[in-house]
Structure 1
Amino acid sequence: MQGLPAIAQLLCLLGGVLLVPACRQSNRGDAPTAAEIRAIDLKQGNLTMCGPADQQLGTAVFETSCPASVQPDFNLALSLLHSFEYDEAEKVFARIIAREPGCAMAYWGVAMCSYHPLWTPPSPPELQKGAAALALAQRLPRKTTREAAFIQALGAFYQDWEQVEHRARSLRFEQAMAKLHADFPADREATVFYALALDAAADPADKTFARQKKAGALLQALYPGEPNHPGILHYLIHTYDYPELAALALSAARKYASVAPSSAHALHMPSHIFTRLGLWDDCIASNLAATSSARCYAESAGLKAHWDEELHGLDYLTYAYLQKGENQLARAQWRYLDTLSRVSPVNFKVAYAYAAIPARYVLENKQWPQAARLPRQPGSLDWQQYPWQHSIIHFARALGQAHLGQLDSARAELADMRRLHQALLELKDAYKANQVQIQLLSAEAWIRLAERNSAEALRLMQAAADLEDHTEKHPVTPSEVLPARELLADMLLQLGKPGLALQAYEADLRQHPNRFNGLYGAAVAAEQTGNLAKAHRYFQRLTEVAAAPGANRPELAAARAFLAKKQDRII
């Protein structure tokens, strides 16, 4: 359509080929036709954001060869993209396409919105959309060498998406972005997106964190000159979202929400680092703001449902309340979850929250009768699409039944977990299969203990803890439903091995600082070994972590009773 008058271009886009004969021209060098653009099925409409009246999303600039009139919109879309506000970013890229259908990088932006590197792999419709948008970008002639490099790099991800599995294509994208970064070493956005590609390609089993450390070095080098860049702050948090690295992202976590307060995801993301470091009050504040923003977004966007981001925040919020011993507030999140009749979109985050929030509550509080009969809610969710999440419910039931001696029922839950594990193996989803395997080993260990086979119980529980040590958690969850090494410590304590239990509790606390049950278990184990000074430190820390007036768990009464004893017992 290049060369057509502006009014004719607009008619082409709005009315298609029947209104303007020239729209039927399909020269390969011309801008896409209206029919080709409609085929992408772009998200359109007014930008929907909550928070400050003047939208605040940070500052990101990506110079393009597109007309200067669309440059502000491109920068806005880029800022949204960097905060994973994919739907809203796509709307802005679509707005650019409507004004300037020859802007190649706008189609690249649409394709990036369909990739979402650090979330679950794109669905087939998302891959179709991304591939179609990228094909148009590749076809357009008016782009710089740099723009062509960005488009080609993303093409490495979408190429042969129907035949090549997701991880292999993510690795291809990383390699392509490495070349782009080498070719344009001074290009800020090339560096930022290369860091993102490194994080997306990172192996969860790689405990050297080679890719993450490389990404972190790139981002940290940029940060002093770009303190309000949403991508730099956001990706630093993801890059260091590991117990061993989390402290490196604390400054980014404390700043990101204030840089992009109009993004619900930006309000939530700092809680990843707060959770890793056991900063529960910060985590709670972060997710109260994020869930409120998510509810506002759903209402403003006219979803007539709760947004999936709200449920994601609820899981983190529940977890933090539990670590502070605030059962009433934690239970309130579960009751609220049960009132959500509709959620949009329904995806892996939604299924995880529905499974994890109830399971966390009953297991953290050792409410074994409630765990044994934990319901699967909501019944309308197609749980077979989510084997990992589905397994969490069976895991909670199996632990509850094993503790109650209901061994036939516990074995039936174990059989269901094995079926779900096999389904994940057949899907070649090794990460999620490993997560279910850890739960399988743990549940079977407690069944063996109930059968009075303590040697086999300890062997299985040790295997679960060792496997979990070599597997990082998924960003969808604040923590494992119950850490396997903490479960091992519980078992050792129950078997009268407090010295070994203390070692296991302390090892787990290094990975999960300020966990309520970890602190309490370590204190009890230390007391039983006669190490009263260490018991005092852990009991004291527990009362500091769970100091809120609403914290009333019985473990706190025991801790306070110990601390009230004469200090002369502690030598």
Structure 2
Amino acid sequence: MKRTLQVLDFLLPVLLSCHGNYKTPTNNAISAMELKRGKIILCGPEEQQLGDVAFTTSCSGKVQKDFNTGISLLHSFEYDEAEKAFAKVIDEDPGCAIAYWGVAMCNYHPLWAPPTPRELEKGARVMAVAESLKKRSERETDYIAALAPFYHNWRTTTHADRCADFEKGMERLHAKYPDDQEAAIFYALALNGAADPADKTFAKQKKAGEILTALSASLPNHPGITHYIIHSYDYPELAELALPAARRYASIAPSSAHAQHMPSHIFTRLGLWQECANANLIATVAARCYAENTGIKGHWDEELHSMDYLVYAYLQQGQNAKAREQYDYLNTIQEVHPVNFKVAYAFAAIPARYLLENRLWQDAAALRPHQANLPWEQYPWQKAIIHFTRLMGAAHTGALVAARIELDTLNQLHDALAAQQDVYKANQVDIQRKTGAAWILLKEGKRDSALLLMHAAANMEDNTQKHPVTPGEVLPARELLGDMLLQLSRPEEALAAYEEDLKQHVNRFNGLYGAAQAAEQCHKKDKAAAYYRQLVKISSTGDASRPELTLAGDFLKGKGN
């Protein structure tokens, strides 16, 4: 990579004309950009079906179809394949400035993790070409100008500031071209990308949703509109608004593996577990197909991402055998590409969920990081999940010395994230360390201190949105507060905690069971029966095997009276 950058440093100035504009890049200069190229690989219908997109350009007419394919893929976050489409446009029409913008958008991915230094370097270089080429319309010039600040001075600016710059640029573009539907769609994406996770008013997300909803009637098969509506409303308070879009998106872009997975974000928010499982079963098959057809050694990262949601759905249905099957399959995976934050999260969260949801405390205390091609030291947030699981296992089995060692590790991981100024992830680990410390205090008999700290963790989590990479916390803090209160024989308070948590985590198996137990202990038999019935209902598909369901059935038959 260093040698490539040196080549580019030499070549790009050569392309300057005497008027300060780049000439059309030479084949050698384009080759040195290391654009992703090749046949576009998709798994789905025989003919690529990615929805309907029309983005008019001033480039050669022969590249318009390929450009629209790139935009369609971009709107479904198929970034590698989208870059191939834009690279094909550049090869056919190297003076097409907006195609270089397309490549830069492929290296941004607003709603995922921040671009890597390599992606930022690449984006900055293709944007330099886009800004300097003469072959562009005024509208294309404005698109390029909206994105350019994201890559300018990327070494010295934060990702959040760059996202805010892109949002402002797209706002100006949308205002200047109110009839440009793509400008409105990309502005909505920019709003979501710049939204503050701590803003509980969801101001930017609601604005994005309103823009997209206004367009949806006239563009019912546009992948970006439907996809970004889901992202705009991917919050417990708003999720119901996205359910129609969630149920449409997979059929709009059946050739996109991500389009098969993405609806499950809303299904998860609304506790629609069978729909969530079905979506991710299809998505994991598509992801394995993609890995095979692209020659990826091992597995594609999107497969593991979908597996995390699939396991979560199975656990909420009480489908332990199916969840365990995915857990065992995960343990056979030794190589994933690309190695990134999604992969690390799945490797940490899937075993943690299985063990913690089922209260397998001894196994939880002994959990080890998965030994795949993964540098865990680069992922302190995900690594913290492993140590949180070990802490909770140790605390619940009375191994308090081991629990304190895990707490020390969580403190170190928190401090590392704080030093990186990664506030969101540092806060996530802070919630875990507060939770873990609370359970250690409880086991030490310090009940008041334990409850005080557990309340603090729950309150903090209530004010923190989940990251899009995850279907939910491995164990919600307020649900754990309910568990603690129930252990302390305070069922009224426990019931209130469970009910509050179920507003954010609809139809969670353990939340419903905890609420039913608390209501039963409060002698609120009708309320207990309602929660038990709901538990049985969400577990009615397949071969649910959790012992809690037997207790629920006994109560509903009158044996629990």
1:161 aligned onto 2:154: yes
**1:25 & 1:336 partners in 2: Cα distance?**
51
Q: Indicate the residue corresponding to 2:255 in structure 1.
A: 262
Q: Indicate the residue corresponding to 1:218 in structure 2.
A: 211
State TM-score, norm by structure 2.
Answer: 0.96
Q: Indicate the residue corresponding to 2:502 in structure 1.
A: 509
Contact 1:26 1:32 in 2 (8 A): no
Secondary structure in 2 aligned to 1:225?
coil
**2:197 & 2:477 partners in 1: Cα distance?**
17
Q: Identify if the C-alpha distance between structure 1 residues 92 and 463 changes in structure 2 by more than 3 Å, giving closer, same or farther.
A: same
> 5 Å matches for 1:24-103?
27=17, 28-103=21-96
1:430 aligned onto 2:395: no
For residues 450-481 of structure 1, the C-alpha deviation after alignment (integer angstroms, 9 at most, x for no partner) is: 00001010011100000000000001000111
Contact 2:339 2:373 in 1 (8 A): no
For residues 308-349 of structure 1, the C-alpha deviation after alignment (integer angstroms, 9 at most, x for no partner) is: 000000000000000000000001111000111110000000
1:230 aligned onto 2:258: no
**1:395 & 1:502 partners in 2: Cα distance?**
25
Q: Indicate the residue corresponding to 1:143 in structure 2.
A: 136
What is the deviation of 1:281?
A: 0.4
For residues 203-232 of structure 1, the C-alpha deviation after alignment (integer angstroms, 9 at most, x for no partner) is: 001000000000000000000000000000
Contact 2:512 2:534 in 1 (8 A): yes
Q: Alignment partner for residue 353 of structure 2, among 335, 360, 367?
A: 360
Structure 1: gaps spanning 5 or more residues: 1-15, 17-23
Secondary structure in 2 aligned to 1:43?
coil
**1:193 & 1:25 partners in 2: Cα distance?**
31
Q: What residue identity is the alignment partner of 1:516?
A: F
Contact 2:312 2:353 in 1 (8 A): yes
Across the aligned residues of Structure 1 and Structure 2, the Cα RMSD in angstroms comes to 1.2
**2:287 & 2:374 partners in 1: Cα distance?**
21
Secondary structure in 2 aligned to 1:472?
coil
Q: Indicate the residue corresponding to 1:330 in structure 2.
A: 323
Percent identity of the aligned residues? Answer: 59
Q: Indicate the residue corresponding to 2:3 in structure 1.
A: none
Q: Indicate the residue corresponding to 2:269 in structure 1.
A: 276
Q: What residue identity is the alignment partner of 1:541?
A: Q
1:555 aligned onto 2:548: yes
Q: Indicate the residue corresponding to 1:185 in structure 2.
A: 178
What is the deviation of 1:549?
A: 4.1
**1:368 & 1:25 partners in 2: Cα distance?**
64
**1:137 & 1:549 partners in 2: Cα distance?**
54
Report the count of equivalent residues.
546
Q: Alignment partner for residue 108 of structure 2, among 110, 115, 118?
A: 115
For residues 381-403 of structure 1, the C-alpha deviation after alignment (integer angstroms, 9 at most, x for no partner) is: 21110000000000000001001
Q: Indicate the residue corresponding to 2:397 in structure 1.
A: 404
What is the deviation of 1:380?
A: 4.2
> 5 Å matches for 1:457-468?
457-468=450-461
What is the deviation of 1:36?
A: 2.3
Secondary structure in 1 aligned to 2:217?
helix
Q: Alignment partner for residue 251 of structure 1, among 244, 250, 260?
A: 244
1:419 aligned onto 2:401: no
Q: Alignment partner for residue 205 of structure 1, among 198, 204, 208?
A: 198
Contact 2:97 2:129 in 1 (8 A): yes
Secondary structure in 2 aligned to 1:32?
coil
1:492 aligned onto 2:485: yes
1:346 aligned onto 2:354: no
Contact 1:26 1:33 in 2 (8 A): no
Q: What residue identity is the alignment partner of 2:252?
A: V
State TM-score, norm by structure 1.
Answer: 0.94
For residues 544-566 of structure 1, the C-alpha deviation after alignment (integer angstroms, 9 at most, x for no partner) is: 11113411111001000000107
Q: Alignment partner for residue 289 of structure 2, among 293, 296, 313?
A: 296
Q: Indicate the residue corresponding to 1:21 in structure 2.
A: none
What is the deviation of 1:37?
A: 1.3
Q: Indicate the residue corresponding to 1:321 in structure 2.
A: 314
Contact 1:354 1:378 in 2 (8 A): no
Structure 2: gaps spanning 5 or more residues: 1-6, 8-13
Secondary structure in 1 aligned to 2:221?
coil
1:447 aligned onto 2:440: yes
Q: Indicate the residue corresponding to 1:475 in structure 2.
A: 468
Secondary structure in 2 aligned to 1:115?
coil
What is the deviation of 1:233?
A: 0.4
Q: Identify if the C-alpha distance between structure 1 residues 452 and 233 changes in structure 2 by more than 3 Å, giving closer, same or farther.
A: same
Q: What residue identity is the alignment partner of 2:518?
A: A
What is the deviation of 1:33?
A: 2.0
Q: Indicate the residue corresponding to 1:9 in structure 2.
A: none
